[in-house]
Amino acid sequence: MYNCIKQLLIRIIPKGILFKSEPFFRRLYYQFYKGKKFQCNICNRGLRRFILLSDNDTICPNCGSISRNRRLWNLLESEFLRKHIKILDFSPSRSLYRRLKSYPLISYTSTDISGDFISDKSFDITNIDSKAEAYDLIICYHILEHVENDNQAIKELYRILKNNGVCIIQTPFKEGEIYENPLLNTDDERLKHFGQKDHVRIYSSEGLKERVSTCGFHVDIREYMEEENNKDGFKKKETILICVKKVA
């Protein structure tokens, strides 16, 4: 039902108007999911359940957050958000964009070049139009697996980050080594080998740590484990890289 309604709205409403009107439609849809068993930590709404998606992820009917958005918000709020921090976020979820834009006394900038996300800038991650050491915190969530020259992208993230600044990175992960092959360059080949037609590799967490460390970052791999059907709608297992720029 949820996917049918979503696809119908996408077909009949222009993208810009849909972005603006999405909160209204979601508030209406949320009325069918009100409850106390679960709670979305981004919009702080109580739910009788999250909506189960076709990929077994869960989405909040009120704000549209999926599990990784809720985990990221929990991490940001508990460890990183502070007064006057400057944040750059690549292709953010609309739920997090709206939450961070409303957060007091921070400077939050989003960027996207696809047109599928709400953004303030359109930076090419391999050639970011920003001065060096401009940001305290960078969010790079599910971006690098789309970027052919990921080493250059990581160097750019390092360049624009302030000393002791943090870049939070997540991608899909697998066990073993990074799997990539530049000869696999059609939609069908990439879908078969990398799981999505616009992905160009699958990282392992250790492989990505090594690649990011080579560009100068100090990297901590965070592993999160949760019970099934936990109240916050977090995934049972999730991996996030916390990458700190430390200049000697």
Q: What is the pLDDT of residues 55-75, one digit of tens each?
A: 999 999 999 999 999 999 999
The residue among 46, 64, 82 that closes a domain is 64
Residues 23 and 28: their CA atoms lie apart, in Å, by 9
What's the pLDDT score for residue 27?
84
What's the pLDDT score for residue 82?
95
The verdict on 99 and 189 lying in the same domain is: yes
Q: Which of 181, 96, 81, 176 is nearest to 142 (CA)?
A: 96
The verdict on 43 and 83 lying in the same domain is: no
Q: Is residue 84 classed exposed, middle or buried when 0-12, 13-18 and 19+ CB atoms within 10 A define those classes?
A: exposed
Domain boundaries, position 3: 1-64
The verdict on 6 and 94 lying in the same domain is: no
Number of domains the chain contains: 2
What's the pLDDT score for residue 11?
61
Average pLDDT, whole number, for the chain?
92
Provide the CATH number for the domain around residue 206: 3.40.50.150
The residue among 13, 32, 64 that closes a domain is 64
What's the pLDDT score for residue 246?
87
The verdict on 76 and 161 lying in the same domain is: yes
The verdict on 103 and 200 lying in the same domain is: yes
The verdict on 84 and 199 lying in the same domain is: yes
The verdict on 1 and 85 lying in the same domain is: no
The verdict on 86 and 50 lying in the same domain is: no
**In sequence order, which ranges of 43-166 are alpha helices (DSSP H)?**
67-75, 94-101, 150-160
What's the pLDDT score for residue 10?
57
Residues of the chain short of pLDDT 50, as ranges, are: none
The verdict on 88 and 136 lying in the same domain is: yes
Q: Phi/psi of residue 54, each to 5°?
A: -65, -25
The verdict on 57 and 71 lying in the same domain is: no
Identify whether the C-beta of residue 108 lies closer than 8 Å to the C-beta of residue 87: yes
What's the pLDDT score for residue 7?
56
Polymer length in residues for the chain: 248
The verdict on 54 and 81 lying in the same domain is: no
What's the pLDDT score for residue 17?
65
